[in-house]
């Protein structure tokens, strides 16, 4: 078994289980390296890296991100104008929601462009798309993509392995938000409308871009579901968000690392939106519109705030998650080739060869100087780090 080179000083050692994820940062993980000799001592990062990162990179990335945001928001404005038949079907009362959605489009495009500009994210993003459009992968594993979408994106089975209550709560929030988005955005943009020939029902027609799709009676079950879809979404979201809010107030582990603006505000926003939405329905049915205007303004403020918050807070993982499907597909297709790399020290399986070679490439891009150490499992990295500490640091106290 090939032994690693003499470790450098402890201050230069990689953390245990180095894994460069889609965010481009080094964090704990299980990846190792696919190739490259462990006998070559890793070199330290060059002094020009920080200067180069602080110099031209942010400016170029910021410029591309701003351009991407402007293009996407401009396209959305055009889609709203033409999708509502030159604003003929656009409801002016929903203007604040539409404006917030344009800001949302700009923020998402801007943040996404910055995100994929990081070396780790860029490599995984590129490899994910390459795996997605690979004819060879489709021929060998035609069900891989639908399986990844269903298990990883839709039902998020990886959460169930951590905790079944957390998985259930996350599913309630996920499907509630999906249902609300599918209803809210097209209505806000004027893409589909509900019209009645008599002006007050009970017969209604649902039209998309001015084209009749279905006619229904508002008094039957179909009509009830049509007009109460957002209420159903709220009923799904409230218990899910409530569980996570309770957990963040009771669970010691969650309390230790949480931040109010990042962890608590999203949950409170979801609950406020859902509760005020239900109260609007309650007011119109049981209170004959009493307090409706105040509730409508409160609901609108909560929704607009949340839409603008999405690109810059915890909700951004909603946008990132589909890209993770490509990453999982990349790893899955690597396993089909039996390219599982083993730790150079203990022989334990680490990950697929292509995936950990991707990790090594990311480290080389960042000039971290630790790519040779990716060939070791997390346990061996901890051992090597401890040995380096004993040999390089503790000897100074003897």
pLDDT digits (tens, 9 = 90+) for 213-266: 888 887 788 888 888 899 999 999 999 999 999 988 887 777 777 888 888 889
Q: Residue 195 in 3-state DSSP?
A: strand
**Measured distance CA(165)–CA(87) in Å, rounded:** 45
Q: Residue 67 in 3-state DSSP?
A: helix
Give yes or no for residue 136 having a pLDDT over 70: yes
Q: Indicate the average pLDDT of the chain.
A: 77
Question: Tokens representing 356?
Answer: 């950990």
pLDDT at 320: 80
**Measured distance CA(213)–CA(217) in Å, rounded:** 14
The answer to which of 62-66, 129-133, 167-171, 315-319 has the lowest mean pLDDT is 129-133
pLDDT digits (tens, 9 = 90+) for 44-66: 444 444 334 334 446 788 888 99
Contacts of 275 (CB under 8 A, 6+ apart): 234, 238
pLDDT digits (tens, 9 = 90+) for 334-344: 665 556 777 87
User: Number of helices (H) and strands (E), helices first, in the chain?
Assistant: 16, 7
Q: Which residue has the tokens 């690693």?
A: 4
| Mean pLDDT (whole number) for 33-48 | 39
pLDDT at 301: 94
**Measured distance CA(49)–CA(146) in Å, rounded:** 41
pLDDT at 335: 63
The answer to which of 48-52, 127-131, 343-347, 369-373 has the lowest mean pLDDT is 48-52
Stronger pLDDT, 374 or 9, i.e. the higher one: 374
pLDDT at 333: 66
CA 299 from centre of chain: 25
Give yes or no for residue 9 having a pLDDT over 60: no
Residues 42 and 392: beta-carbon distance below 8 Å: no
pLDDT digits (tens, 9 = 90+) for 190-211: 998 888 776 666 788 888 888 8
Stronger pLDDT, 84 or 143, i.e. the higher one: 84
Stronger pLDDT, 127 or 306, i.e. the higher one: 306
């Amino acid at each position: 078994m090939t032994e690693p080179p003499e470790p450098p000083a402890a201050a230069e050692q990689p953390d245990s289980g180095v894994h460069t994820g889609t965010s481009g940062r080094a964090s704990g993980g299980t990846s190792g390296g696919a190739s490259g000799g462990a006998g070559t001592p890793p070199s330290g990062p060059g002094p020009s890296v920080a200067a180069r990162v602080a110099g031209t990179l942010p400016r170029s990335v910021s410029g591309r991100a701003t351009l991407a945001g402007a293009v996407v928001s401009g396209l959305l404005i055009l889609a709203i104008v033409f999708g509502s038949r030159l604003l003929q079907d656009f409801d002016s009362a929903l203007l604040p929601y539409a404006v917030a959605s344009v800001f949302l489009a700009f923020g998402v495009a801007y943040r996404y462009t910055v995100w994929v500009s990081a070396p780790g994210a860029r490599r995984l993003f590129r490899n994910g798309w390459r795996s997605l459009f690979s004819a060879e992968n489709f021929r060998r594993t035609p069900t891989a993509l639908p399986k990844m979408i269903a298990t990883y994106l839709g039902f998020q089975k990886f959460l169930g392995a951590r905790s079944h209550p957390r998985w259930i709560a996350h599913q309630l929030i996920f499907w509630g938000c999906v249902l609300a988005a599918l209803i809210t955005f097209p209505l806000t943009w004027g893409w589909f409308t509900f019209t009645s020939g008599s002006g007050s029902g009970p017969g209604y027609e649902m039209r998309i871009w001015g084209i009749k799709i279905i006619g229904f009676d508002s008094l039957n079950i179909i009509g009830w579901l049509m007009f109460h879809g957002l209420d159903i979404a709220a009923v799904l979201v409230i218990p899910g968000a409530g569980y996570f809010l309770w957990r963040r107030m009771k669970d010691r582990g969650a309390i230790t690392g949480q931040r109010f603006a990042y962890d608590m505000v999203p949950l409170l926003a979801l609950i406020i939106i859902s509760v005020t939405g239900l109260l609007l329905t309650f007011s119109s049915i049981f209170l004959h519109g009493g307090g409706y205007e105040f509730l409508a303004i409160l609901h609108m403020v909560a929704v607009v705030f949340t839409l603008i918050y999405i690109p810059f807070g915890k909700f951004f993982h909603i946008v990132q998650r589909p890209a993770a499907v490509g990453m999982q597909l990349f790893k899955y297709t690597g396993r089909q080739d039996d390219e599982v790399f083993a730790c150079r020290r203990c022989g334990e399986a680490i990950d697929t060869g292509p995936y950990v070679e991707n990790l090594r490439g990311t480290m080389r891009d960042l000039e971290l100087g630790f790519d040779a150490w990716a060939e070791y499992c997390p346990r061996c990295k901890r051992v090597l780090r401890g040995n380096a500490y004993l040999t390089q640091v503790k000897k100074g106290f003897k």
